[in-house]
Amino acid sequence: GQQLNQSPQSMFIQEGEDVSMNCTSSSIFNTWLWYKQDPGEGPVLLIALYKAGELTSNGRLTAQFGITRKDSFLNISASIPSDVGIYFCAGDRSGNTGKLIFGQGTTLQVKP
Amino acid sequence: EAGVAQSPRYKIIEKRQSVAFWCNPISGHATLYWYQQILGQGPKLLIQFQNNGVVDDSQLPKDRFSAERLKGVDSTLKIQPAKLEDSAVYLCASSYNRGDEQFFGPGTRLTVL
């Protein structure tokens, strides 16, 4: 089936460092989403991208929708301890169906 | 505004037993989703409802899984009989309409022994 490949699988960084993670696919997606999941909770939407080339920020988070529509990346600047969690990319092939395909996740740990 | 509610939060059963999960979406949300999240993986969409109708259930193992949303509000997901590989977190999500932001509940963690 369709897959989204996320990398890296995990990251262990120092507080204050910047973080970058990405998501790639062999198929075109018309919507890219980035979620964060804390232990024992459901994923929470961080950023939504709807147009190829779009660059969107949400506080210290910045995400881009790749020009080819087959990839996306998420950057976190000046990481803080509460950034700890699992970050998932998700895509909607049609763009407006709600039928999301999720990546495998990137686990982020931040050392104070 | 209340979020998506799910119960129970945890369930432990033996293989071949039956189990049911309940979800109450955000009020006014027409679209409801059930996802399966196996440990170490991202959520996988099992079924999508629009009001009380099924939009997509292509990834639902229909020989053992069933779901309903009879009055277009809350929903139940049932597994009968359960297998060891069904051990996972079952997440419910809802959105105002298809394609809108999905809000997730806390999930039900199922362990099949």
Cβ-based burial of B87 (10 A; exposed 0-12, middle 13-18, buried ≥19)? middle
CA gap A6, A29 in Å, rounded: 15
Question: pLDDT in tens for each of the 113 residues of chain B?
Answer: 689 999 999 999 999 999 999 999 999 999 999 999 999 999 999 999 999 899 999 999 999 999 999 888 999 999 999 999 999 999 999 999 999 999 999 999 999 99
Say which DSSP state A36 is in. E
Q: How many beta-carbon pairs below 8 A join chains A and B?
A: 57
| Interchain contact, B104 vs A101, CB within 8 Å | no
A52–chain B Cβ distance below 8 A for any pair: no
Interface list for chain B against chain A, based on CB atoms closer than 8 Å: 4, 31, 33, 40-45, 48, 55-56, 91, 93, 95, 98-102, 104-107
Cβ-based burial of B93 (10 A; exposed 0-12, middle 13-18, buried ≥19)? buried
CA gap B72, B31 in Å, rounded: 9
Residue from the list A40, A99, A102 with its beta carbon closest to the beta carbon of B42: A102
pLDDT digits (tens, 9 = 90+) for A72-109: 999 999 999 999 999 999 999 987 899 999 999 999 99
